[in-house]
Every structure is written in C-alpha cells, then in structure tokens.
Amino acid sequence: MEISVTTLAGKSAGKIKVSEAVFGLEPRADILQRMVNYQLAKKQQGSHQSKGRSDIARTGARLYRQKGTGKARHHAASAPQFRGGGKAHGPDSRSHAIDLPKKVRQLALRHALSAKAADSSIVVVDDLASDGKTKSLADQFKNLGLDNALFIGGETVDANFKNAASNLAHIDVLPVQGINVYDILRRNTLVLSKSAVEALEERFK
C-alpha cells in the first residue's frame, strides 16, 4: 500500500510504502467504540464528593425524648432529612477507569489508522517544520485543505511548528508517542510525518 508524500508548501515529495497490517485493516466500529469509552472513562476526574451523615460534625444527642411528643422518633441531627444533615447516597470519590486488554488497545489504534486510510483522510508530509509564524502556517494549511486535523510528528515535534499551530482552532499537534484513538477520530484529517509513519510501523512490527 502506497501513500503520496507532500510538503507543507503543497509540493509532491514522492510516495511512501506503508504496511497493510497497520493501515490496511477492515475497520471495526465495536473495537473503536470500546477504546474511546476506555479513554474517556480514564480521563474522568472522579473527584466528586459529598458529606454523608458520618462526615457531619453535629451533636449525636437525641433531639427530644422518645415518647410523648406526638412526633416521629428521631436521633442524631446529622440525619439526611434535617437541614444541615448529611446527604443520603451522595457521590463518592472514585476512579471511573475500566479495564481493556493491552492487545485490544493496540488493535484499536491500528483500526483507527486503517479507518482514516480507508476514507482517504490521511496526509503524509515529509517534515513538520515552520518559521513560527501562525499566519504563514495557516496559509499552508488552507492550501492543503486542512481546517480540522491532527498532526503527528516524530519523537519530538518542532517547537516553532507546535507553537504556531497551537493558535489555530481545530488543529492538534502530538509527538508519535502521544498518538491515540480518540484524538484520531475526533479530527477530520490525520497528518503524519514520514518519521511518524516509520515509528508506527516499527511499533507494530
């Protein structure tokens, strides 16, 4: 499987041969959905917390005598039905993370890459480099038709390119180590540098 390589200036830079095992699979929506759910669940902060009746600092003395008042029998003022009492069945701090086998996570990434390749939504550029000017970079993206894209560089991303791209809406930039299914699917186009393609194929060899 071959993909054309271009420059950010829009000039042809030849072609690159990519692995069918990484970019040529038949995408499965169920695997992609499981991976997205895994990522979003793990991303949740889970710090919501309310005070139960055991967390309320109020007297534990009986409010009034047990019998003879004509009222219901109550004990501590920290009970949920009283103003200032603890919340019944309130949220507790916890992790929302779910389990997903490592092999499924790796497979999901290959399916996400294959889904973009099947939709012709992958662009390979020879290098991600810039002079640091957002306007010039925006013009280059416009010429390439990239208005909603995820850019994946090599082990390191050019600082000027990253800083200039960070000022543009709907543009994300990540090193190849940070590539993930959710970010791939949330953008219309996936832009890979040649070094990123080589690193991905080495990763799944």
- pLDDT tens digits for 31-82? 999 999 999 999 999 999 999 999 999 888 888 899 999 999 888 899 999 9
Same domain, 81 and 162: no
Give Cα separations from 91 to 51, 77, 80, 113, 139 (angstroms): 9, 21, 14, 38, 49
The tally of domains found in the chain comes to 2
Q: Is the dihedral of CA 75, 80, 83, 85 positive or negative?
A: positive
Q: What pLDDT, on the 0 to 100 scale, is given for residue 59? A: 84
Task: Answer yes or no: are the C-beta atoms of 125 and 9 closer than 8 Å.
Answer: no
Same domain, 109 and 156: yes
Domain that holds residue 58: 50-90
Same domain, 102 and 64: no
Q: What's the rounded Cα separation, in Å, for the pair 53 and 166?
A: 47
Q: What is the mean pLDDT of residues 110-135?
A: 93
Q: What's the rounded Cα separation, in Å, for the pair 158 and 173?
A: 10
Task: Answer yes or no: are the C-beta atoms of 27 and 115 closer than 8 Å.
Answer: yes
- Interhelix angle 29-43/102-118, rounded to 10 degrees, is 120
Q: Is the dihedral of CA 171, 176, 181, 184 positive or negative?
A: positive
Same domain, 136 and 81: no
Same domain, 137 and 192: yes
- As a whole number of Å, the end-to-end CA separation of the chain is 16
Same domain, 75 and 127: no
Q: What pLDDT, on the 0 to 100 scale, is given for residue 13? A: 86
Give the domain-ending residue among 29, 64, 90.
90
CA angle, 156 then 159 then 165, to 5°:
110
At residue 89 the predicted structure's pLDDT band, cuts being 50, 70 and 90, is very high
- pLDDT tens digits for 130-167? 888 999 999 999 999 999 999 999 999 999 999 999 99
